[in-house]
């Protein structure tokens, strides 16, 4: 049983390190603040975006019936416990979409594009992409999202409705069960498809489909769970909001829902980015260093950075210094060094050494992170025990060397070598 638990813990160790890395990246990449900024942008662009969506669908006669289904679909599946209040808003948007002057369309498109630009900026920052997509390419991508998106959505809704009219579903019991199955799974499947496309198309880099799909499935599951939790919360606290805000009670509730949706979206993006880094390091990993060796290398690169540039290194910069090290191993080493307060993280997410390395010996580091040199373990054979004791004392003498002296000598040798 103990061996099984130990083996299971070893198998789950990379997963746990990956989860810690995701939490670390989500916190220190400013996703909480980015979600707030995207929420504010959404409030400015949601109306124009919905108007453009309905205008495109209403301009195609075949999708006019699908427009009504889309309205019910949004109310019933994407805004928990707010259908009756938002019904009037969406109906107003739908009516106004048929009365928009041509000059106003460009303003609405600009507002809708503004949201896509903010989303692209957030994803590129999460991916660590400094180079930006050319403006013309961005505009073409946004135009495709605004035009093809509603058309694909209308086709999917029309196809789902047509599926229920097939002879296969003539049995009343079957058509009821089939309709429930389709309409229960459609929100989840549509969320997965939309998020997968966004995670692949918007960042200005190549994203593998399996990584985007994994992040999208996780985000879609979180959205479904959030819908249930949010519906329960609104049912219990709606009276309080009405007492405080009156007829405007829907606004703070809707604001919180949009904020949570963006948080989930950015968390899914972090998972996609983490899988991308994990894949890269797994492909290039030629050896797996022990935790002691990895901590020693991290301290060496941090020491060298502080000596030459008087600055620290972020986790991504350490990854570049150690390209053959798996991501979860590097994360574990950094977290252990941080836990024992040999390094600390600054506000700019970089790590620095907290104490002079003249006070930290190689032996101390070895004993902290690898294993203790045991003096009380004996074999019971005097000649062997005497030999082991002598070897342990000799190893202590060799290892009891300050890291600063070790790193300085290594730096001098690196400078002399061509």
The 10 Å CB-count burial string (b at 16+, else e) for 40-51 is ebbeebbbbbbb
- Cβ atoms of 376 and 337 within 8 Å: the answer is no
Radius of gyration of the chain (CA): 29
What tens digit of pLDDT does each residue of 59-89 get? 555 555 555 555 555 555 555 555 555 555 5
| The predicted structure's pLDDT at residue 291 | 75
In tens, the pLDDT along 86-113 reads 555 555 555 555 566 666 667 767 777 7
Looking at residue 288, what is its pLDDT? 44
pLDDT at residue number 219:
93
**Whether pLDDT at 274 is above 70:** yes
Mean of pLDDT values over 251-266: 86
- Segment 1-18 mean pLDDT: 68
Query: Which letter does DSSP use for residue 247 in this model?
Result: G
Burial status of residue 404 (CB atoms within 10 A of its CB: 0-12, 13-18, 19 or more): middle
Q: Is residue 123 very low, low, confident or very high in pLDDT (cuts 50, 70, 90)?
A: confident
State the pLDDT confidence band at 217, using cuts at 50, 70 and 90. Answer: very high
Residues of the chain with CATH 1.10.10.10: 291-416
- DSSP secondary-structure letter at 199? H
- Return the closest-CA partner of residue 207 out of 322, 129, 116: 129
Q: Where are the alpha helices (DSSP H) in 246-290?
A: 250-284
Instruction: Tell me the whole-structure pTM to 2 decimals.
Output: 0.62
Q: Identify whether the C-beta of residue 319 lies closer than 8 Å to the C-beta of residue 334.
A: no
User: DSSP per residue over 283-301, as a string?
Assistant: HH------HHHHHHHHHHH
Q: Which two structure tokens, joined as six digits, stand for 375?
A: 């003096």
Exposed/middle/buried for 17, CB within 10 Å: 0-12, 13-18, 19+?
Answer: buried
Nearest to 125 by CA among 316, 346, 344: 316
Residue 7 — pLDDT band, cuts 50, 70, 90?
low
> Does residue 282 register a pLDDT over 80?
no
First to last CA, the chain: 54
pLDDT digits (tens, 9 = 90+) for 293-327: 888 888 888 988 888 887 888 877 888 888 777 66
The pLDDT confidence band at residue 181, using thresholds 50, 70 and 90, is low
State the chain's mean pLDDT as an integer.
72
pLDDT at 221: 93
Dihedral angle, C-alpha 344, 127, 14, 348, nearest 10 °: 0
Q: Is the pLDDT of residue 17 over 70?
A: yes
DSSP structural state of residue 62: G
Q: Torsion angle of alpha carbons 5, 6, 10, 13, nearest 10°?
A: 60
Partners of 402 in the beta sheet?
361
What is the rounded average pLDDT of the residues 220-225?
Answer: 89
Q: Determine the CATH number of domain 291-416.
A: 1.10.10.10
- pLDDT tens digits, residue range 368-381? 654 444 444 444 45
207 token code pair: 């994203």
CA distance 279 to 277: 5
**pLDDT cut 90: percent of the chain above it:** 6
When mean pLDDT is compared across 39-48, 97-106, 390-399, the lowest value belongs to 97-106
């Amino acid at each position: 049983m103990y061996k099984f638990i130990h083996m299971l813990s070893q198998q789950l160790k990379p997963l746990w390190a990956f989860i810690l890395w995701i939490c670390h990246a989500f916190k220190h990449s400013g996703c909480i603040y980015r979600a707030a900024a995207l929420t504010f942008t959404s409030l400015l662009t949601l109306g124009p975006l919905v108007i453009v969506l309905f205008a495109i669908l209403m301009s195609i006669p075949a999708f006019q019936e699908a427009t009504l289904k889309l309205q019910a679909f949004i109310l019933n599946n994407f805004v928990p416990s707010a259908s009756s209040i938002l019904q009037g808003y969406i109906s107003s948007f739908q009516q106004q979409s048929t009365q928009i002057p041509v000059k106003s369309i460009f303003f609405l498109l600009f507002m809708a594009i503004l949201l896509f630009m903010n989303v692209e900026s957030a994803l590129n920052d999460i991916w660590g992409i400094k180079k930006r997509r050319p403006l013309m390419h961005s505009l073409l991508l946004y135009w495709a999202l605004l035009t093809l998106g509603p058309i694909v959505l209308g086709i999917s809704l029309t196809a789902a409705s047509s599926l229920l009219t097939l002879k296969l579903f003539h049995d009343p019991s079957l058509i009821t069960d089939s309709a429930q199955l389709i309409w229960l799974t459609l929100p989840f499947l549509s969320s997965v498809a939309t998020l997968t496309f966004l995670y692949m198309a918007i960042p200005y880099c190549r994203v593998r489909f399996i990584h985007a799909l994994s992040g999208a499935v996780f985000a879609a599951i979180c959205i479904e769970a959030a819908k249930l939790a949010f519906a329960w919360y609104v049912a219990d606290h709606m009276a309080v909001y009405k007492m405080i805000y009156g007829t405007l009670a829907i606004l703070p509730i809707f604001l919180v829902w949009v904020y949570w949706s963006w948080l989930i979206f950015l968390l899914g993006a972090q998972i996609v980015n983490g899988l991308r880094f994990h894949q890269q390091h797994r492909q290039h990993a030629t050896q797996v260093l022990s935790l002691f060796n990895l901590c020693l290398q991290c301290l060496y690169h941090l020491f060298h950075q502080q000596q030459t540039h008087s600055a620290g290194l972020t986790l991504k910069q350490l990854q570049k210094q150690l390209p053959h090290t798996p991501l979860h191993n590097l994360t574990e080493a950094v977290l252990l060094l941080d836990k024992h307060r040999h390094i600390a993280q600054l506000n700019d997410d970089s790590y620095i050494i907290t104490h002079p390395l003249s006070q930290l010996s190689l032996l101390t580091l070895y004993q902290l992170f690898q294993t203790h040199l045991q003096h009380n373990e004996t074999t019971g054979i005097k000649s062997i025990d005497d030999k082991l004791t002598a070897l342990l004392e000799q190893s202590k003498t060799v290892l009891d060397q300050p890291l600063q002296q070790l790193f300085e000598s290594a730096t001098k040798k690196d400078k002399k070598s061509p």
